[in-house]
Amino acid sequence: MNATMRAMVFDGGSPILAERLVKVPVPGAGEVRIRVAACGVCRTDLHVVDGELSSPKPSLIPGHEIVGRIDAVGAGVVGLSIGERVGVPWLGHTCGQCSYCLSGRENLCDAPQFHGYTRDGGYAEYVVADASYCFHIPDTYDDEHAAPLLCAGLIGFRTLHSAGDAQRIGIYGFGAAAHIVTQIAVAQGRTVYAFTRPGDRAAQSLATDVGAAWAGSSQDKAPTLWMLP
């Protein structure tokens, strides 16, 4: 394999993202290397390159909705093999020792690492990931449709899960996560109400296009069932 790869690099200069040739990363113990097939764009990527998050790694490769196939496996990795397709999210490593990690809430870890922020992400030909933070991707999804599930889908599904078996779901703010979770909730037979910024017709029509029963301003009162068609 070539020793270099193409990558989009953010270093705080201009242009915001620069295409560069960088070294192909080598997986360490417990890590795998993935040949990237697709990587979505999350609002957080924009926060990072706009300088709104305080401590990105130097010469950062952003991107954390990554799908690709494993092409190298580091020492000690079990359950993942070369050629397997996986997805890689924002959360890229946790300490395994803090009170949050030990209580099954590693998303709150005291010493986390994040793809596309404190470790390199997916806007490159290859990315190295902690094997513990790689997800198997079912064959029913192609690369492009699987990628957004790694952040927008994951966040949306977590909130839907937290809502229990509620039949009427109100979503405030209608972006990437909402447009996925609405489709899931509607497929489950639930009714979705979308609240957007006042006058955001584009978000409101997206909401009704993907199945929301009602879409309106966050300053509006929630409609009651009798108001619905």
Q: Which spans of this chain sit near Zn ion (rule: CB under 5 A)?
A: 42, 44, 90, 94-95, 98, 101, 109, 151
Helix (H, G, I), strand (E, B) or coil at 79: coil
Q: Judged by CB, which is closer to Zn ion: 73, or 151?
A: 151
8 Å CB contact between 83 and 45: no
Nearer to Zn ion, 173 or 198 (CB): 173
75-83, long-range: CB within 8 Å, 24+ apart, which pairs?
75/28, 75/29, 75/30, 76/29, 76/30, 77/27, 77/30, 77/31, 77/32, 77/131, 78/131, 79/131, 80/32, 80/131, 80/134
Closer residue to Zn ion, CB minimum distance, 42 or 212:
42
- In this structure, what are the phi and psi dihedrals at residue 57, rounded to the nearest 5 degrees? -65, 155
Nearer residue to Zn ion within complex by CB, 68 or 148: 148
Closest distance to Zn ion from the beta carbon of 163 (Å): 20
Minimal distance, residue 146 CB to Zn ion, in Å: 14
Least distance between Zn ion and beta carbon 123 (Å): 13
Report which DSSP code applies to 165: T
Closest contact distance (angstroms) between CB of 97 and Zn ion is 6
User: Nearer Cβ to Zn ion, position 39 or 70?
Assistant: 39
Nearest to 121, CA basis, from 144, 154, 88: 88
Cβ closer to Zn ion: 133 or 214? 133
A 10 A CB-CB count for 180 gives: 20
Cα 157 to chain centroid, rounded: 12
Tell the smallest beta-carbon distance from residue 108 to Zn ion (Å): 8
H-helix segments, the chain: 43-49, 99-102, 143-146, 152-162, 176-187, 201-209
103 or 224: CB nearest Zn ion:
103
- In whole angstroms, how close is the CB of 49 to Zn ion at the nearest point? 13
CB of 227 to Zn ion, least distance (A): 34
Q: What phi, psi does 117 have (nearest 5°)?
A: -145, -65
Bond preceding residue 15 cis, omega within 30 of 0: yes
